[in-house]
Structure 1
Amino acid sequence: MFGYYLDLALRSLKRNKILTALMVLAIALGIGASMTTLTVLHVLSGDPLPGSSGTLFYPQLDPRDMDGYEPAKPPPEQVTWIDGMNLLRSKRADRQALMTGGAVPVQPAQSSLDPFYSDARYTSSDFFAMFQVPFLYGRGWSEADDNSKSRVVVISRTLNDKLFGGKDSTGQTLRMKDTAFRIVGVLDSWRPNPHFYDLNMGNYSASEDVFVPLSTSRDVRFEHNGSTDCWGTGGGSDEHAETQPCVWLQFWVQLDSATKVAAYKEYLTHYAQEQKTLGRFERPVNVRLPGLMAWLDINKVVPGDVRLQTWLAFGFLLVCLVNTVGLMLAKFLRRSGELGVRRALGASKREVFSQLLVESGVIGLAGGFGGLLLAFLGLWLVRRQPSDYAALAHLDASMLLITFLLALGSSLLAGLLPAWRACQITPALQLKSQ
């Protein structure tokens, strides 16, 4: 019967081309607007490490003095060098990574390339395993390299393509700030969204091109260009950042069970109490251990205007559906005579209702195709915007499926009332009027 209803639907739609075009256009406009904004929201609010984000946590301590103290104020979003190194060396987590961002002057061996600056990540050896960073060639460095301040480096695929033509460059030398570094690994394409491990560098910025041990970066005095918050006598030259009362490092831990999470939270509390006893911490103990997704929520990573635009777009879709309901109602009631004849020939209300819903579904699918084209256009316009997340606005397979499901579901919903009203026609009255 479905094939028969489909044939009837296509015939009916062809007979009223203008009305059909208006209904399809109304659905397409609503679907196009809502899917454009929903896709952007989907990209920006996604899990940067699916399957692993539940084991990653961001320890927070409050080492500041009493100046400006507020009881309910959260701890700083970063840690000092002293606290970061203490937590790192304690090895109380399954994995831990201490890091900051910067920029390094790269001096290519090729005479055809001028020196340039590349974004860099100064971190510890667990970074790559903890964040599941994919490697194209080689591997990350070891803890021994961290401790010995080895001149080793991991580079991105983009930088490897630029300097070495995409070949395996492990073992090659890369000069940065007049210092020779041995390349031990080349990353495969990797851009977690958001840039969760250091939001100070931009919520949706691209991943760095150069990764070196944190200890090495301090030894060769690589430039640190992340956020720094100091108090008391802190501030001034970056050369003495290790001893200054300033927070400027990010610290992440991996805890593979709820028991370990509770134990690590207790360890942080004991550590803060110990530092307070030593006189380093002045404020009451204030430690927190948010998970990765909670950390993104705390920092309100998804722009508020994106959420607002999504709600407005779905409001526009609702308006389009109301218009579609009116158009369908007019179309179905104009066919009262045809439907009355079908009823008189033995068709039940249920069969007529099914026929009209199939017709609504065909309109929805046509509107879905139109909405998909409009969504592609909308996302193309989004990618032209000067936002750090603009380049991420692409329709993936899941959103493609949602587009058609939303179009089909919306049209069927819009067709319920018109189909029900059309089924209430009394066959005898319609036959008498013929």
Structure 2
Amino acid sequence: MFNYYIDLAWRSLKRNKVLTVLMVLAIALGIGASMTMITVLHVMTADPMPGRSGKLFYPQLDPQGMEGYIKTSDPPDEMTWMDAMNLLHAHRGVRQAAMSGGRVTVVPPQGATHAFMADARYATADFFPMFGVPFVDGSGWTADDDDKHARVAVIARELADKLYGTPHAVGQTLRLGKYDFRVIGVIDRWNPAPHFYDLSMGSYAKPEQVFLPFETAMELKQGIRGSMMCWGDFPADGNMTKANGCAWVQFWVQLDTPVQVASYRDFLINYSAQQKALGRFARPPNVRLRDVMQWLDYNHVVPGSVQLQTLLALGFLLVCLVNTVAMLLVKFLRRGGELSVRRAMGASKRSVFAQLLVEAALVGLAGGVVGLLLAAFGLWVVRQQPVEYAAYAHMDGSMLGATVVLAVCATLLAALFPAWRACRLVPARLLKTQ
């Protein structure tokens, strides 16, 4: 029976080609515009750490002075060096990592005349297992390497290929400025988006090429990048990185159970109270503990303009569907005589209704295919824009299927009233006029 409905629908669509083309274009334009923006929104709201994000938390403390204090205000986004080191060595989480962005001068084997700058990440040992960083060769360093300020490095596969012509570069010497480091690991392609672990680099920053032990990088005075918030008096030696009044270190902790989360939050409150008693903190305990997705939401990683454009695109799809309803209504009512003949020959209202919905589904399927092409073009246009997320505007398999499903479902929804109205026609009255 379904094949019979397909045959009837195909004949009907060919009978009035202009109206069929108009309906397909209406659906395609609405689907193309809406799926372009839905795909962009999907990319920007994606979980950068699937399966891990609910266990990774970003603690915040408030070590600032009382000037400008508001009870409901949020703590600084970063930590001071001392607080980050205190939390790190307290080992109250399953894993914990302190880090900061940096920039280093890479001197290739060809010599200093070919030196170039590369983005770096200074972090403690748990960074790699906590974030599930994949390795193509070797591994990360250990906590013992952190303590000894070891001159070891992990590099990205892209940099290994560029410097040594192979991703298997463990044991090679990496020269950064005037210092030599031993390569102990090469990271496979890894680029979580958004760049959740350090949003100060940009929500969709490119992945770092060089990773160094945090304390080693500070000892060798490697350049840091990112935000730095300072208050109070500046240190006499001018070293802002280890000043009590400068927050610039990102800190992440892994907590596997709700009990651990509650315990760590209590630990942060007690730590803040202790530091206030010691005179380091002036404000009452003011802490936050957000997981990855909560942290992204707090920082408004998805711009309001993208959300607005998505709503406008969905509104355009609704307008296209209303136009499709009108065209389907005209088309189905014009076929009143044909449908009445089918009813007179014994077809039930349900059969006629199903036939009309199959015809609408074919229109939706064709509109979905054309809409895919329009969405692909729309995403190409987005990738040409000077915005951070442009490079990520690609349609994945899930969105590909969602486009076709949305097109068919939207068209079927639009066809419900026209099909119901056509089935309400009285066959006897129409047959008399034929």
Query: For the superposition of Structure 1 and Structure 2, which TM-score range results when normalised by the shorter chain?
Result: over 0.9
Separation in structure 1 between the aligned mates of residue 4 and residue 328 of structure 2, nearest angstrom? 20
Deviation, 1:163, is 1.1
Separation in structure 1 between the aligned mates of residue 125 and residue 30 of structure 2, nearest angstrom? 49
Partner of 1:73: 73
Moved more, 419-428 or 82-91: 419-428
Once the two structures are superposed, residues 210-234 of structure 1 have per-residue CA deviations (whole angstroms, 9 ceiling, x without a partner) of: 1000001011110012110000113
Moved more, 232-241 or 40-49: 232-241
2:312 aligned partner, one-letter code: L
* Cα distance, 1:237–1:355 mapped onto 2, change above 3 Å: farther
Once the two structures are superposed, residues 38-94 of structure 1 have per-residue CA deviations (whole angstroms, 9 ceiling, x without a partner) of: 000000001110111111111111001111111111111110001000000110100
Partner of 1:298: 298
Superposition map of 1:192-203 within 5 A: 192-203=192-203
Partner of 2:147: 147
Once the two structures are superposed, residues 342-387 of structure 1 have per-residue CA deviations (whole angstroms, 9 ceiling, x without a partner) of: 1111111110000000000000000000100000000000000111
Per the alignment, in what secondary structure is the counterpart of residue 58 of structure 1? Answer: strand
Per the alignment, in what secondary structure is the counterpart of residue 71 of structure 1? Answer: coil
Deviation, 1:200, is 0.3
1:224 aligned partner, one-letter code: I
Superposition map of 1:149-298 within 5 A: 149-234=149-234, 239-298=239-298
* Cα distance, 1:238–1:24 mapped onto 2, change above 3 Å: farther
1:141 aligned partner, one-letter code: W
Aligned: 1:37 with 2:37: yes
Check conservation: 1:234, 1:244, Cα contact below 8 A.
no
Partner of 2:343: 343
* Cα distance, 1:342–1:98 mapped onto 2, change above 3 Å: same
Once the two structures are superposed, residues 250-278 of structure 1 have per-residue CA deviations (whole angstroms, 9 ceiling, x without a partner) of: 00000111111111111111111110010
1:107 aligned partner, one-letter code: V
Deviation, 1:113, is 7.4
Partner of 1:426: 426
Partner of 1:129: 129
Deviation, 1:237, is 7.3
Separation in structure 2 between the aligned mates of residue 238 and residue 384 of structure 1, nearest angstrom? 43
Superposition map of 1:267-416 within 5 A: 267-416=267-416
Once the two structures are superposed, residues 320-346 of structure 1 have per-residue CA deviations (whole angstroms, 9 ceiling, x without a partner) of: 000000001111111111111111111
Check conservation: 1:204, 1:388, Cα contact below 8 A.
yes
Check conservation: 1:221, 1:239, Cα contact below 8 A.
no
Moved more, 13-22 or 236-245: 236-245
TM-score, length of structure 2 as denominator length: 0.98
Per the alignment, in what secondary structure is the counterpart of residue 290 of structure 2? Answer: coil
Per the alignment, in what secondary structure is the counterpart of residue 103 of structure 2? Answer: strand
Separation in structure 1 between the aligned mates of residue 71 and residue 112 of structure 2, nearest angstrom? 58
1:390 aligned partner, one-letter code: A
* Cα distance, 1:244–1:270 mapped onto 2, change above 3 Å: closer
Check conservation: 2:107, 2:177, Cα contact below 8 A.
yes
Separation in structure 2 between the aligned mates of residue 70 and residue 111 of structure 1, nearest angstrom? 54
2:267 aligned partner, one-letter code: Y
Partner of 2:61: 61
2:392 aligned partner, one-letter code: L
Separation in structure 2 between the aligned mates of residue 419 and residue 241 of structure 1, nearest angstrom? 71
Superposition map of 1:62-101 within 5 A: 62-101=62-101
Q: Percent same amino acid at aligned positions?
A: 58
Structure 2 spans left out of the alignment, 5+ residues: none
Deviation, 1:399, is 0.4
Deviation, 1:291, is 1.3
* Cα distance, 1:385–1:46 mapped onto 2, change above 3 Å: same
Separation in structure 2 between the aligned mates of residue 326 and residue 311 of structure 1, nearest angstrom? 23
Q: What is the number of residues matched between the two proteins?
A: 434
Separation in structure 1 between the aligned mates of residue 236 and residue 168 of structure 2, nearest angstrom? 41
Check conservation: 2:151, 2:182, Cα contact below 8 A.
yes
Deviation, 1:110, is 2.3
* Cα distance, 1:389–1:98 mapped onto 2, change above 3 Å: same
Per the alignment, in what secondary structure is the counterpart of residue 60 of structure 2? Answer: coil
Once the two structures are superposed, residues 95-132 of structure 1 have per-residue CA deviations (whole angstroms, 9 ceiling, x without a partner) of: 00000001000000125972110000000000000001
Deviation, 1:396, is 0.4
Root-mean-square deviation over aligned CA pairs: 1.2
Separation in structure 2 between the aligned mates of residue 327 and residue 249 of structure 1, nearest angstrom? 60
* Cα distance, 1:238–1:49 mapped onto 2, change above 3 Å: farther
TM-score, length of structure 1 as denominator length: 0.98
Separation in structure 1 between the aligned mates of residue 20 and residue 215 of structure 2, nearest angstrom? 68
1:256 aligned partner, one-letter code: D
Deviation, 1:149, is 0.7
Structure 1 spans left out of the alignment, 5+ residues: none
Moved more, 112-121 or 412-421: 112-121
